[in-house]
Amino acid sequence: MHAVVHHHPGHRTPPPRCCSRGHGRSSVVVRAAAAATVTSTPGAAATAPDSPSAAFWDYNLLFRSQRAESRDPVALRVTEGAIPPDFPAGTYYLAGPGMFADDHGSTVHPLDGHGYLRSFRFGGADDGVEATAHYSARYVETAAKREEHDDAGGASSWQFTHRGPFSVLQGGNRVGNVKVMKNVANTSVLRWGGRVLCLWEGGEPYELDTRTLETIGPFDILGRLAGGTTTDEAARDDDSSEAARHGRRRRPWLQEAGIDVAARLLRPVLSGVFSMPAKRLLAHYKIDTKRNRLLMVACNAEDMLLPRSNFTFYEFEANFALVQTREFVVPDHLMIHDWTFTDSHYVLLGNRIRLDIPGSLLALTGTHPMIAALAVDPSRQSTPVYLLPRSPEADAEASGRDWSVPIEAPSQMWSMHVGNAFEERNARGGINIQLHMSGCSYQWFNFHRMFGYNWQNKKLDPSFMNIAKGREWLPRLVQVSIDLDKRGTCRGCSVLRLSDQWTRPADFPAINPGFANRRNRFVYAGGASGSRRFLPYFPFDSVVKIDVADGSARSWSATGRKFVGEPVFVPTGLSEDDGYVLLVEYAVSDHRCHLVVLDARKIGERDAVVAKLEVPKHLTFPMGFHGFWADE
């Protein structure tokens, strides 16, 4: 495999229009010219069959179920290069779905596939002994998995009884089946306080043994808080009531009272009929490395159906002791997947949604997914950014801004994932906030067809993810900049591409975790090289490294019928790009998975690949979602 570097000389994307708030001043951002000149590596052209049929089957092979587990660690064979001597001892955990098709004719959406945790454990080199890597994988034994999987007598069989929010069942009880909230613990993974947790977007995390990956059980972190005492319990109560007052300023009293009544009626229905928890934790968490805290956020179950959103932020110490809780009521109908924070703020980029009445009726019949009850709301041509004070001191300092009124960032963007966010004091005594993130257009995003799910033919249709739409519609990397004065009033807001040299689709931005929440120079992300005519945009086949300082971009690409997942940075030194980038390469050409180790400094050069480690073919797994690197 050769390294591939993509460069678009002379190509410039015109900057999006900027908005201004507060004092009517426009925000002008000038992007420095890219300093690097990068050339393509010879001989790296795609070798894959280039036809709609080949694209269709390659895409579906990427999401083929894996029924086998690897309970005992398996030594991985190095097929290229070598594990570098300075690679640290630690474990790379990768969460994602493992089971999509049962034995009764049903195929579920990838987002509803049962959680399958993979781990790659590295033993560091020592006294001349070469470093080693071992692989393990096990299903997360959720309540839904135990109900839908029968392993009696060693004869493994699956029958889906829950639809999941994004799926339709072809076999079994279909019409009137209200079993939709299937906690599959498949979205993200975290190691914190000596525990490994697998998270999902609508239920409590599941805890697994850090080494054996055996499921210990649900980790009811919110239930643990209900009966405990926190270090600032009184402040939390005060914050909650103040947040409620702030969040209700923009609505008439009668309208707010009607929403309260609807919420009280919906809660028992959602809990009793659909088995939804009163509060659902989001799958994305954040780690404040400066304060050594874990940050998590939950929203109310009924929020998805009402024009009001309730967010509760939790901050935990290393032993899961609760340090702080802050509650906010936002007068907007939002869907939040990822979020971020700075030293003073929690930051939410709101994706506006609305209740779809016809879709709701179809969803209840079982002929459409339950997510059909919701639709994107493109009525506003901007992106709401909520800057929520992380402390009472931050709230008091921002006396000139009502946090319940969002900053409307220019261009309508569906927020996907955030790589980094930080704030810095400016010359006027205020702060500048900057976000590095990925987003797409509302026109591209589709609840019903994400990943190309097609419940009629039980296959995934890659054409939806690869429709030749406008370039600004597709997932892209952007920089959001917000300028606040000393009273917290917004003086300007802009959204620009993170790099004018990389205009192809990209997502899953990652950075050196040691530079989180401070000014960073480098962002790594999964991207599309465009080498496959019928799979030009997704799945990704590249890792792009963007230098935020000068806008240059360098990339490494897999060749042929290979795709890549989310990159994860493993630091080894003090410099920001001193370390390695880990990612899984999915070679559908021979149905194998490789763990690829890239030298972060050499991305864009021939020798960027430091090592490739082969997962045994019988343990090849489907594409994962989000991972976590844990140093020993």
- CB-neighbour burial class of residue 57 (10 A; exposed 0-12, middle 13-18, buried 19+): middle
d(CA 204, CA 206): 7
Find out whether 246 is annotated in a ligand binding site: no
The answer to whether the beta carbons of residues 237 and 230 sit under 8 Å apart is no
The answer to whether the beta carbons of residues 512 and 29 sit under 8 Å apart is no
Going from the C-alpha of 580 to that of each of 88, 264, 563, 572, 611, the distances in angstroms are: 10, 50, 19, 8, 10
- CB-neighbour burial class of residue 617 (10 A; exposed 0-12, middle 13-18, buried 19+): exposed
The closest of 624, 628, 589, 620 to 135, measured between CA atoms, is 620
Find out whether 417 is annotated in a ligand binding site: yes
Please provide residue 338's backbone torsions phi and psi, each rounded to the nearest 5 degrees.
Answer: -115, 165
Give the H/E segment covering residue 463: helix 462-465
Strands 206-208 and 157-158: unpaired
Please provide residue 92's backbone torsions phi and psi, each rounded to the nearest 5 degrees.
Answer: -100, 115
3-state secondary structure of 334: strand
d(CA 203, CA 226): 16
Which residues lie closer than 8 Å to 391 by C-beta, 6 or more apart?
A: 324, 326, 344
How many Å from the N-terminal Cα to the C-terminal Cα in the chain? 31
Residue type, 488: G
* Residue 148 Cα to chain centre, angstroms: 26
Give the residue carrying structure tokens 């801004």: 401
d(CA 622, CA 625): 10
The answer to whether the beta carbons of residues 136 and 71 sit under 8 Å apart is yes
Residue 131 is classified by DSSP as: P
d(CA 607, CA 246): 55
Lookup: tokens for 52? 């709609």
Going from the C-alpha of 26 to that of each of 99, 214, 490, 498, 518, the distances in angstroms are: 51, 55, 11, 20, 26
Find out whether 626 is annotated in a ligand binding site: yes
The closest of 423, 412, 193, 182 to 285, measured between CA atoms, is 193
Please provide residue 269's backbone torsions phi and psi, each rounded to the nearest 5 degrees.
Answer: -65, -50
Enumerate the known binding-site residues: 337, 417, 626
Q: Which residues are annotated as a binding site for Fe cation?
A: 337, 417, 626
